[in-house]
Amino acid sequence: MRISFVGAGNVAWHLAQALEHAGHHIVEVYSRDTRNARRLINKLYDTTVALHPDFAESSAELIILAVSDDALDDVMQRLVLPEECILVHTSGTKTLEELTRLVDIYSDVPAHTGVFYPLQTFSRDVPIELTEVPLCIEASDASTESTLIKLAQDLSNVVYLMNSEERAVMHIAAVFACNFTNHLFSISKRILDAEHLEFDLLKPLIRETVRKAMEAPDPTMVQTGPARRGDRQILERHLDYLERYPAWQGLYETLSESIMKK
């Protein structure tokens, strides 16, 4: 397939290289920051930097919008589409409908639309085994859907048809399991820092806890700790200590109660 990218950030960085590696041709890369586009095409075989998001004369059959949610509206205002192309975004939170509406509003030519959402966090300098990354697909019509599924299967063993409502729920679940988890690590580190204890000491335990949770049929089955045991004495002692951090004391109480309710 002939594919062009709008955006040259972390998602484009990994997707473009993986697609080329799977035998597809990355035709152009456009980015507001031309240096990013240039850095990406240096990793590709036969790709040019597009200086404007004008693909009227492009041979691309698929244009992948790999831009942040905030930038989507702006880029759609300036995007010029070729005839008969598929336009997809890579966002976990934007609906397919939103993209279709933006095409209707801003584009002179119609387009098939879709979502090509890799359920993973990317860093430019960290190689990711894309074959293990779930690719969530949604499309405006059946033929686009089958094209996107085939493309996704070239990259990953985990290809999933997921509509926008399901993707939204997936996102909420990810906020709990990933964003909030990361915040708990931050709190934990801050508590240790204050006593000059090293967060590094806790890392083997964190890694093993997560490993267990991921391998158990249900994380609830491997829940441990004072709240799980209903150990009021320890809970009280911890809450006393946390007097110095009122916000985290509240969090400790709320989370402990939530565990005890199970």
Report the residue number, 84 or 198, with the smaller CB distance to a second copy: 198
Among 226, 117, 131, 132, CA closest to 174: 117
Tell me the closest approach of the beta carbon of residue 246 to a second copy, in angstroms.
Answer: 11
Number of residues this chain uses to bind a second copy (CB under 8 A) = 84
Considering only residues 73 through 92, tell me which ones interact with a second copy, judged by CB under 8 A: none
Which of 22, 56, 109, 175 contacts a second copy by CB under 8 A? Answer: 175
Task: Examine residue 218 and tell whether it contacts a second copy (CB under 8 A).
Answer: yes
Stretch that binds a second copy, among 16-24, 36-44, 47-55, 169-177 (CB under 8 A): 169-177
Task: Examine residue 121 and tell whether it contacts a second copy (CB under 8 A).
Answer: yes
Q: Which residues contact 252 (CB under 8 A, 6 or more apart)?
A: 238, 239, 242
Which of 108, 127, 142, 214 contacts a second copy by CB under 8 A? Answer: 214
Stretch that binds a second copy, among 43-51, 52-60, 98-106, 114-122 (CB under 8 A): 114-122
Q: What are phi and psi of 114, to 5 degrees?
A: -165, 175
Stretch that binds a second copy, among 1-9, 31-39, 99-107, 241-249 (CB under 8 A): 241-249
Q: Which two tokens stand for residue 74?
A: 């702006």
Do 102 and 177 contact (CB within 8 A), yes or no? no
Which of 195, 230, 236, 244 contacts a second copy by CB under 8 A? Answer: 195
Which of 22, 56, 105, 178 contacts a second copy by CB under 8 A? Answer: 178
102 vs 93: CA distance, rounded Å: 15
Task: Examine residue 228 and tell whether it contacts a second copy (CB under 8 A).
Answer: yes
Q: Which two tokens stand for residue 132?
A: 């293990």
Stretch that binds a second copy, among 25-33, 57-65, 75-83, 182-190 (CB under 8 A): 182-190
Neighbours of 132 (CB within 10 A): 10
Task: Examine residue 104 and tell whether it contacts a second copy (CB under 8 A).
Answer: no
Task: Examine residue 22 and tell whether it contacts a second copy (CB under 8 A).
Answer: no
Q: Which two tokens stand for residue 147?
A: 């094209």
Do 171 and 115 contact (CB within 8 A), yes or no? no
104 vs 96: CA distance, rounded Å: 12
Cα Rg of the chain (Å, integer): 23
Single-letter amino acid, residue 152: A
Tell me the closest approach of the beta carbon of residue 97 to a second copy, in angstroms.
Answer: 14
Considering only residues 32 through 71, tell me which ones interact with a second copy, judged by CB under 8 A: 69
Task: Examine residue 242 and tell whether it contacts a second copy (CB under 8 A).
Answer: yes
Neighbours of 5 (CB within 10 A): 32
Do 260 and 234 contact (CB within 8 A), yes or no? no
The residue with tokens 């859907």 is 145
Task: Examine residue 168 and tell whether it contacts a second copy (CB under 8 A).
Answer: yes
